[in-house]
Amino acid sequence: MRHTASDRTILLAAALLSAPWLSNAQTSGYEFNDSHLHLTNYIQEGTDIHRFLKIMGSSVGRVAIFGIPLQQQWSYRVDAKNAPTYYLNSDAPLYYYSFTDAWIATAYKSLPEEQRQRLDPMITGFNPTDMYAADHIRRVLETFPGVFSGIGEFTIHKEFVSAKIAGEVASLRDPALDRILDFAAEVGLVVLIHNDIDVPFAKEGSAPAYLDQMKVVLKRHPKTTIIWAHTGVGRVVRPIKDHAANLEAILGDTAFHHVYFDISWDEVAKYIVSSPAATKITANLMERYPNRFLFGTDEVAPTSESDYQRVFKQYAPLWSLLAPSTSEKVRKTNYEHIFDQARHKVRKWESSRAEAARVH
């Protein structure tokens, strides 16, 4: 019996819906899942996905993988033969690079099924100022069914980056962002968003520039599962004095039941373990809201197991303070809960779309 392309898509979706995710997706004795991994860098180069599975080894269960949505332009007029490899290497602009999603999908599909189950690819190659961004996400899902579980990491406000991007500056007040978040809710996609809570070098004691705006957006999309990357912290956008209190105001409000925080990035770890007091404040917050935090590395194209695990080890003082059950949730099970639900919902949406296309 020969199957059409739509038939094959439906069969694939059905198989994925019934797949035993947890029994096959992790290795025994793993230490953490990673909610935040860039397989490529700002010039779209990165780690071969087969090599990355070896770097994960037996210490890492599952990883949310994505590229970087921005390409650093190499302007000969600006940099001559000194090809920049990072956004701080050049005054030339950044631009959105949509091919990153196809690159990630193709790499993922090159793996055997058992290895695929350890990865959760994310769509990130869209411009959040474009009302058509949601359509890009839809097309990626339709082109690569059975691959993606979420969108992100994508950026609205980010120190030094936002001002370098060619075109309009992203904004929390942009209807294009609402359209993206609405579509994510419709499909069941996890959203991983980077938005600094404040501007660099803010005046001491001033209210965080973007906190209220972010809360308005989050509250407007209660059906969208949203992970706020780095808890809103940046390289020079440091945790403000009342940062933990501001996070707790969100965590303790049922209007934000759908909002989670990742503690990815060595810069975030640096602040959290900067003193016993800072680590204790963080641990106490996690103990009160153990289901709302996820560990991530925010590593970019790691080349060795030691490089890849450095952020996890940097958090050793935090892990030692947490109750075993809380540590388990932050390092492992919160990830599994969020991404297992996303996998199921997205595969169901893909299956329904494929069935509708077959009927018509």
Q: Walk along the chain (360 residues) in steps of 10 and give the mean pLDDT of each run.
A: 48 46 56 98 96 97 98 96 93 96 98 97 98 98 98 96 93 98 98 96 86 98 98 88 94 98 97 96 98 98 96 98 98 98 98 82
Query: Model's pTM, two decimal places?
Result: 0.92
* The listed CATH number (1.20.58.340, 1.10.3720.10, 3.20.20.140, 3.30.910.20) that belongs to domain 30-359: 3.20.20.140
What pLDDT, on the 0 to 100 scale, is given for residue 356? 79
Sheet holding 299-300, edge to edge: 293-294, 259-262, 226-228, 190-194, 150-155, 119-123, 60-66, 32-38, 299-300
β-bridge partners, 261: 228, 293
β-bridge partners, 26: none
What pLDDT, on the 0 to 100 scale, is given for residue 28? 59
- The full set of domain ranges for the chain reads 30-359
**In Å, how far are 33, 151, 314, 356 from 349, measured between CA atoms?**
25, 15, 39, 11
Long-range contacts at 230-233 (CB < 8 A, ≥ 24 apart): 230/194, 230/262, 230/263, 230/264, 230/265, 230/267, 230/268, 230/298, 231/197, 231/261, 231/262, 231/263, 231/268, 232/195, 232/196, 232/197, 232/198, 232/208, 233/196, 233/197, 233/265, 233/267, 233/268, 233/271
* Of the candidates 56, 53, 62, the residue with the CA atom closest to the CA atom of residue 334: 62
Contact between 179 and 134 (Cβ < 8 Å): yes
What pLDDT, on the 0 to 100 scale, is given for residue 57? 96
What pLDDT, on the 0 to 100 scale, is given for residue 286? 98
What pLDDT, on the 0 to 100 scale, is given for residue 205? 77
